[in-house]
């Protein structure tokens, strides 16, 4: 695509911070990313940021990411203790290298960075906020320990965005 | 000693699954199975819910094709309410469904399958992925992303939300279309058409390279099923069911989709959660048929839009009136996408598209309802039963991937027989087995994707299930 009408060649003109919480809300704790995004949607600390809750990362997010100054991703972590909130800055150089090896039905954070850089020549810094989970069973609620971690994860995102704003 | 090769999970399809390939004592493939290991569970968890909630609930089955379930579900509830959507409501549903077709087809072709087509099945997997495509052919990658975004925007603008849209409701749609949104969508049509036509031109220029591969890539005789309109054109939203055999002869035509249970049976195999559907008049397993983009082109006279019909003519000249190789799903998917874009424009230029009559209102008037539509991957059927209070008592979903289940198993077996030998567990060989599954773009849904979950594991098992060898990537 080559016109702004369909968004193919020009980066989305977000210019600011893009926060994406992702996961399947009907697989219990996998929905923690969207839950954090929902909590942040009206948060004054993120005024001006583009906050989204999505089922999974998909390639077109690279277009929006390429126009952002910071991308914060919030996801469930199956390999961490339930309720543990961790923050990891993605190394953009290493990310592009990793992206090629693990492409699947969704795009991983490295894939988003890689696509943005390859196609539009620019990628924002990416910070991944992960929440350790207890269950991936079918169901639309979070485990108590994960539910309790949602405000902490939201605070972590807000702190990242505020720090970015001061920089 | 007989052995089994397991590929688990299959990458670049929706959801999780695995493939086992059974070898005999001489290392020759004797059988193959495509296992679906996830339990969707929606048919159970929706029992007892008010039926008017069903479309919104069903949309949550999948983050990739929520609109397809939303459409089929809303039609089933229309049936229970004994109500016809208003003409404008039905047209807006069509546009949202076609937006879904565009974005999902784009994901399948550009993101999931183009790496194989661009680099070849023997290429290093470190290169053969969407990042590799972005480096080698950035125009192709951008076209895919652009089509995805345009399709998603249509869903968001008309459906209210991009991922789990709520704008489709029993009786029609929730929102009246504004001229501003209509014009915004129409403004993207020329470039969307140009993007998919570039992809078609690229595919055609390269497809001779794959001629031999296509000949054994899930190439077998089968029936095909899809919805057609009164003129026999492709219809993604309504119309009649048509089934043709491998020679194009009509097995059934002008079948009311609400009577599908008279024609379609569902078999359960112990090795998969996915039911295998079959054409009842031919019995199980002989009643194998295929659905999806290839089936839609095989059953229809034409697509019904000019550019897509022009490409369909060339398609049939190249691969025959009834294309039998699963490889041609890719080509068919591009023509299906072109048709969807043209149809979106045609509907949006209709005189009544901005009408405020977008929804018919009614109560519970029947205890049973069926809704059928074409999802990106093929025909989708929702069948509900409710009590007098409209609470759901029973649900059966016949999904496109179920229609194709037997065909996928047949295709895996054919590819495995050609490419898999006991003494070689090579990436390219295994990827061909996976790739033939990707032709059908199966959606196994309910996927989770917590960090650290996705990987591919290849196991070599003996007849007793003991792991003899294992590869991971």
Q: Do A6 and B145 touch (CB under 8 A)?
A: no
Q: Tokens at residue B70, please?
A: 């939303």
How do beta strands B29-35 and A126-132 pair? unpaired
ipTM of the predicted assembly exceeds 0.90: no
Interface of A with B in 85-114 (CB under 8 A): 96, 99-108, 111, 114
DSSP conformation class of B204? H
Same domain, B213 and B334: yes
Same domain, B338 and B206: yes
Q: Is B114 exposed, middle or buried (0-12, 13-18, 19+ CB in 10 A)?
A: buried
B47 CA: distance to closest CA in chain A (Å) = 14
Q: Do A1 and B142 touch (CB under 8 A)?
A: yes
Q: How far apart are CA B65 and CA B100, in angstroms?
A: 7
Same domain, B348 and B414: no
Q: Is A167 part of the contact surface with chain B (CB cutoff 8 Å)?
A: no
Q: Residue A104's pLDDT is what?
A: 45
> B307-316 pLDDT, tens per residue?
999 999 999 9
Top residue of B142, B157, B341, B454 to mutate, by most chain A CBs within 10 Å, is: B142
Q: How far apart are CA B166 and CA B117, in angstroms?
A: 36
Q: Residue B400's pLDDT is what?
A: 85
DSSP conformation class of A27? B
Q: Tokens at residue A5, please?
A: 């009408």
- What is the SS3 assignment for A23? coil
CA distances from B410 to A134, A140, B25, B279, B401 (A): 38, 36, 22, 16, 14
Q: Residue B17's pLDDT is what?
A: 62
Domain that holds residue B136: 84-219+329-361
Same domain, B120 and B178: yes
Top residue of A103, A110, A114 to mutate, by most chain B CBs within 10 Å, is: A103
Q: Is A133 part of the contact surface with chain B (CB cutoff 8 Å)?
A: yes
Among B343, B361, B379, the domain boundary falls at B361
Q: How far apart are CA A102 and CA B452, in angstroms?
A: 11
Q: Residue B164's pLDDT is what?
A: 58
DSSP conformation class of B171? T
Residues of B in contact with A1 (CB under 8 A): 142-143, 145-147, 149-150, 191-192, 194-195
Q: How far apart are CA B151 and CA B167, in angstroms?
A: 15
Q: How far apart are CA B457 and CA B471, in angstroms?
A: 6
b/e B29-45 (16+ beta carbons within 10 angstroms → b): beebbbbbebebebeee
Same domain, B468 and B352: no
Residue B157, domain member (yes or no)? yes
Spatial CA neighbour of B9 closest among B438, B439, B464: B438
B24 CA: distance to closest CA in chain A (Å) = 31
How do beta strands A17-22 and A50-54 pair? parallel
Q: Residue A10's pLDDT is what?
A: 39
Q: How far is CA A30 from the centre of its chain?
A: 13
Same domain, B131 and B183: yes
Residues of B in contact with A102 (CB under 8 A): 454-455
Residue with tokens 């998917």: B333
- What is the SS3 assignment for A129? strand
Beta bridge pairs of residue B277: B266
- What is the SS3 assignment for A66? helix
Q: Residue B428's pLDDT is what?
A: 67
Same domain, B335 and B196: yes
Q: Which residue numbers in chain B have pLDDT < 50?
A: 11-14, 445-458, 472-473
Q: Is B389 part of the contact surface with chain A (CB cutoff 8 Å)?
A: no
Which helix (DSSP H) or strand (DSSP E) does residue A96 occupy? Answer: helix A92-99
Q: Do A24 and B447 touch (CB under 8 A)?
A: yes
Same domain, B201 and B132: yes
Number of folded domains in chain B? 2
Domains and CATH numbers, chain A: 17-166 (3.40.50.1450)
Q: Residue B26's pLDDT is what?
A: 74
Q: Which residue numbers in chain A have pLDDT < 70?
A: 1-15, 92-106
Q: Residue A58's pLDDT is what?
A: 85
């Amino acid at each position: 695509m080559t016109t702004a009408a369909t968004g193919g060649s020009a980066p989305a003109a977000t210019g600011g911070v893009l926060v994406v919480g992702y996961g399947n809300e009907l697989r219990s704790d996998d929905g923690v990313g969207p839950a954090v995004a929902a909590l942040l949607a009206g948060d004054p600390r993120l005024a001006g940021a583009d906050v989204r809750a999505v089922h999974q990362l998909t390639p077109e997010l690279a277009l929006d990411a390429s126009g952002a100054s910071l991308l914060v991703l919030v996801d469930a972590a199956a390999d961490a203790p339930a309720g543990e909130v961790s923050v990891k800055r993605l190394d953009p150089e290493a990310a592009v290298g990793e992206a090629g090896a693990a492409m699947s039905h969704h795009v991983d954070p490295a894939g988003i960075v890689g696509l943005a850089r390859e196609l539009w020549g620019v990628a924002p810094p990416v910070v991944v906020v992960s929440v350790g989970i207890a269950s991936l069973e079918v169901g639309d609620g979070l485990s108590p320990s994960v539910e309790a971690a949602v405000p902490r994860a939201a605070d972590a995102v807000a702190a990242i965005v505020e720090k970015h704003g001061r920089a | 000693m007989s052995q089994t090769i397991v590929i688990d999970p299959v990458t670049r399809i929706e959801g999780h699954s695995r493939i086992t390939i059974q070898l005999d004592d001489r290392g020759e493939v004797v059988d193959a199975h495509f296992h679906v290991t996830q339990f969707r569970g929606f048919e159970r968890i929706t029992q007892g819910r008010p039926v008017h909630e069903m479309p919104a609930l069903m949309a949550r089955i999948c983050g990739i094709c929520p609109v397809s379930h939303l459409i089929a579900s809303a039609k089933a509830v229309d049936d229970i309410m004994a109500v016809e959507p208003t003409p404008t409501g039905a047209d807006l549903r069509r546009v949202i469904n076609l937006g879904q077709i565009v974005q999902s087809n784009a994901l399948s072709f550009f993101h999931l399958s183009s790496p194989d087509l661009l680099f070849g099945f023997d290429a290093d997997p470190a290169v053969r992925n969407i990042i590799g495509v972005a480096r080698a052919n950035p125009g192709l990658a951008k076209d895919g992303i652009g089509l995805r975004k345009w399709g998603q925007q249509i869903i968001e603008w008309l459906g209210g939300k991009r991922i789990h849209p709520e704008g489709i409701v029993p009786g029609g749609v929730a929102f009246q279309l504004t001229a501003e949104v209509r014009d915004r969508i129409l403004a993207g049509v020329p470039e969307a058409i140009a993007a998919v036509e570039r992809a078609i031109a690229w595919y055609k220029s390269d497809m001779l390279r794959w001629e031999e591969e296509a000949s054994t890539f899930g190439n077998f005789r089968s029936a095909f099923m899809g919805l057609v309109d009164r003129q026999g054109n492709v219809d993604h939203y309504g119309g009649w069911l048509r089934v043709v055999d491998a020679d194009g002869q009509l097995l059934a035509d002008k079948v009311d989709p609400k009577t599908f249970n008279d024609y379609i049976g569902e078999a359960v195999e112990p090795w998969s959660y996915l039911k295998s559907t079959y054409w009842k008049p031919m019995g199980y397993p002989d009643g194998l048929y295929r659905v999806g983009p290839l089936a839609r082109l095989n059953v229809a006279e034409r697509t019904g839009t000019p550019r897509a019909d022009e490409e369909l003519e060339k398609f049939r000249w190249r691969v025959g009136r009834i294309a039998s190789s699963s490889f041609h799903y890719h080509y068919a998917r591009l023509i299906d996408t072109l048709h969807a874009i043209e149809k979106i424009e045609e509907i949006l230029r209709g005189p009544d598209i901005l009408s405020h009559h977008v929804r018919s209102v009614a109560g519970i008037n029947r205890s049973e309802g069926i809704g059928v539509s074409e999802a990106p991957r093929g025909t989708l059927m929702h069948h509900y039963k409710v009590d007098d209070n409209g609470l759901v008592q029973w649900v059966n979903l016949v999904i496109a991937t179920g229609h194709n289940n037997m065909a996928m198993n047949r295709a895996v077996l054919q590819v495995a027989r050609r490419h898999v030998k006991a003494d070689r567990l090579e990436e390219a060989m295994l990827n061909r087995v996976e790739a033939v599954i990707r032709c059908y773009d199966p959606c196994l849904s309910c996927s989770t994707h917590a960090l650290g979950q996705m990987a591919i594991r290849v196991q070599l098992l003996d007849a007793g299930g003991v792991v003899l060898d294992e590869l991971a990537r």
